[in-house]
Amino acid sequence: MSFAPDGSRLLVANEGEFISTTATQRAGSVSVINLNGATLANLGSLTNAAVTDVNFTNGLATGIALDGVRNARLDTLNVKSPNALDVEPEYVTTTNGRAYVSLQEGNAIAVIDLIGPNSNQVTAIHTLGTITVTNDASDREENALNDTVKGMPMPDTIANFSRGGRTYLLTADEGDARYGRWRRKAP
C-alpha cells in the first residue's frame, strides 16, 4: 500500500498469488483509489466508483506486453509463456505521476501512469535479468571459496526517492526460493 505524495491516491498491490490446490485463480492487480475530495470525516463514504483496478490483462497500455516477464509455472503445453494470471504484484511505491510495482516472481518492475492519457494503465514492464555474485561459504579468510553464482533479483519491497531531478528505486531483492541488491534508476 502506498499513498501518492500529494495524498490524491492510495494504491494497493493485490498479489493474486498462485495456489496450485485451488480450482480458480485470481489474477493480480493494483487498486488505485481516488482520494480527491475525501476528508477524514467522509472517508467512510467512498464507494467503488473511487476505485480503479489495474490488471495485467486489459490494464496494459497500447504496445505493452508481458513478453520477457518470468513465468514461474509451465502452461499446459509445457512451454513457458507470458500469462497475466502469473503476474503477482508484491509492493507499490508512488510519485505524484507514477506508480512502480514490484513483480517478484516475474523478476520485473511494472510502471503505472497515474495522470495523463494513459492514466491508470501499465505503461512499462522492466524485466530485471540476472545478476552475478561471488559467494564465499567458508569461515576462513585465507583460501576462501569464491564461487560465482548467477541469480535473479526478484524484488519484494520497493521504495523510491528523488535526487537531482531523477527518481531512483530501491528494492529488497528476495530471490524467492520458489524461483531467484542493488539500486536502479527509475525508468
Cα 150–153–157 angle (5° rounding)?
160
State what percent of residues in the chain have pLDDT above 90: 47
Mean pLDDT of 29-41: 89
State the pairing for strand pair 92-94/98-103: antiparallel
Q: Which domain holds residue 175?
A: 2-185
For the chain, how many structural domains are there in total?
A: 1
Residues shown for the chain: 187
CA 174, CA 13: separation in Å to the nearest integer?
A: 17
Q: Which residue has the higher pLDDT, 56 or 144?
A: 56
State the pairing for strand pair 98-103/51-55: unpaired
Q: Are 103 and 111 in contact (CB under 8 A)?
A: no
Q: What pLDDT does 145 receive?
A: 64
Q: Which residue has the higher pLDDT, 55 or 39?
A: 55
Mean pLDDT of 99-118: 94
Q: What pLDDT does 182 receive?
A: 40
pTM above threshold 0.85: no
The yes-or-no verdict on residue 43 having pLDDT over 50 is: yes
